[in-house]
Structure 1
Amino acid sequence: MLASTDTSRNRLIVPALGGLYATLNNSAETLLRAVTGVFLAIHGSQKIVNPFGATEMVEGLGFYPGAFWSPLLACTEFFGGILIAIGLLTRPAAFAGLIVLLVTVWFHWATMGQGFSGAEKSLLWAAILAFFVIRGGNRHSVDARIGKAF
């Protein structure tokens, strides 16, 4: 925690805020993880209802057979989002989501020729998921409660 040491507090423009930053550090990270997971699950909820609905789309991206990749995509987004939100198996769930997002970056940037403007949202989501791949679920997670993390 950067703001929790006396040295780092001295580097703050408003040193009195150091305690507040230190106190909110884990809560802010937990909020980001929960929102990320819930949004990913919501995004995948339409796919999980019809797990073969994206078969043509994934085959159009070069992933064959679509009957395998489409349900995998649905599960990755829906169940992976739930796992990220509660902080259970956070790193593997975030890694799977990161792979999906990197494919969407490639699709929008290269395949569709949209460049940065087309891939911008996917890049942002990929960065958030990369954070949780590296960081894990933090102390406010199921991983922490059971005392195990991947």
Structure 2
Amino acid sequence: MSMTPETPRQRLVIPALGGIYGALNEGIETLLRVVAGGFLAIHGSSKIVNPFGAADMVEGLGFYPGAFWSLLLACTEFFGGIFIALGFLTRPAAFAGLFVLLVTVWFHWITMGQGYSGAEKSLLWAAILAFFAVRGGNRHSVDARLGKAF
């Protein structure tokens, strides 16, 4: 599916920009995927060195046994972030990260009572990962190089 900068319903105010937007479209999507995945991996790097360190925290959220969910959280953030950045198993990795982020939205908004201001960053990250959970990697991904997508 090609994403064109100009559709019959949308006309650019400056039509000459259409070629620039079209040329940059996939590149900027790839950049967003690499940055989002890289940042998620960096965020998970502290958890992966102590994968059971969040056991009490996840049990406090109602996820038992804490050791299992703590390990899963660490792997989802660290390895999932690397997978998203590379565009390998992009959709499942993004979906797993999206689930984690929706839990953090619940935690900040409801459990901590911080509302939107506490959950804002998690909502933004969830939206980015939701995009890649639906879109997958583009032609600049390992998935595309393998000729397979989930």
| TM, length-normalised to structure 2 | 0.96
Secondary structure, counterpart of 2:95 in structure 1? helix
The CA distance in 2 between the partners of 1:26 and 1:68, in whole Å, is: 38
Is 2:65 the counterpart of 1:48? no
The equivalent residue for 1:106 is 106
Over 2 Å off, 4+ runs:
none
The equivalent residue for 1:2 is 4
> Gaps spanning 5+ residues in structure 2: where?
none
> Gaps spanning 5+ residues in structure 1: where?
none
Secondary structure, counterpart of 2:52 in structure 1? coil
Equivalences, count: 148
Secondary structure, counterpart of 2:131 in structure 1? helix
1:32-64 deviation digits (Å, cap 9, x = unpaired): 000000000000000000001101110111101
Shift of 1:4: 5.7
Secondary structure, counterpart of 2:5 in structure 1? helix
Higher share in helix: 1
Secondary structure, counterpart of 1:149 in structure 2? coil
The equivalent residue for 2:145 is 145
| TM, length-normalised to structure 1 | 0.96
Amino acid at match of 2:4: L
The CA distance in 1 between the partners of 2:5 and 2:126, in whole Å, is: 27
Shift of 1:2: 2.6
The equivalent residue for 1:28 is 28
Identity %: 80
The equivalent residue for 1:130 is 130
The CA distance in 1 between the partners of 2:99 and 2:11, in whole Å, is: 38
1:94 and 1:132 in contact (8 A); partners too: yes
CA RMSD between the two structures: 1.2
